[in-house]
Amino acid sequence: MIHWIQLVFGQTLREAAPILRREAEIEPCKCKRCEQPYFSKKTKDFISVFTLIAVSVYTGVSILLWCNSNKQLTVSQDAEIHQLRAYLYVRRFPITVSQTTATANVEINHAGVTPAYNVRLDANIEVIQYLVGKLNLDDVTSPNVSHILKSQYSILYSTEHIPETISMPPYATEAMKLALAPNSNYRFYIYGVVRYLDIFGLDKLQPERRYEFCFIYKPQTGDIGTERGCEDYNKPG
């Protein structure tokens, strides 16, 4: 009896196995997990938008950090230039006046740390009516202007200075008469420009420096001069 049951069920199982396998391959999965995707469409859209926002924020923050680092680098470089560059200026001394000429001494001084190179002075002295009309001084660097004091020095250290003397030309007799006339409103105008390079200019990192000056003297010996009246021609650089 037992052998007969085993024979019948064994035969039935052997015949049913291929059929069950075919049905399993043909019929789709009936469970909810198989019928629905792992993420819904709304969830997928949300994930995409969130990812886009996150990438955009990360990119924006990266750009801001890069800009800030560049700005800090520029500020650091500017501070280094201001601390180490050369600063030249012109100091004035009292004028000496005679019946035929006027002479004033000036000094090119150094207030910086590193040397100044290729120092060039172009200066002039004129007799001009004081505070009348708009002041229009010559461009002393122009080759078309005559009687210009021109000096050049290869280097100037911070512990040194360069003295210069600026005098009226010998043929300026009429100008001297105007200046020395009683109750004259004419003054001696001493003006010019100092051009130079600092250590950064040698490397082409900074342009040539310019210091423009203008001093006005009364026509009398011992006058110490003033900058009032030619402020537009005093430009530190």
Query: Is pLDDT at 10 greater than 50 in this prediction?
Result: no
DSSP state of 232: G
* pTM for the full predicted model: 0.65
Per-residue confidence (pLDDT) for residue 47, from 0 to 100: 75
The mean predicted confidence, pLDDT, of the chain is 79
Per-residue confidence (pLDDT) for residue 22, from 0 to 100: 57
Under the phi-then-psi rule, with left for phi > 0, alpha for psi from -120 to 50, and beta for the rest, what region is 90? beta
Per-residue confidence (pLDDT) for residue 2, from 0 to 100: 42
d(CA 175, CA 181): 10
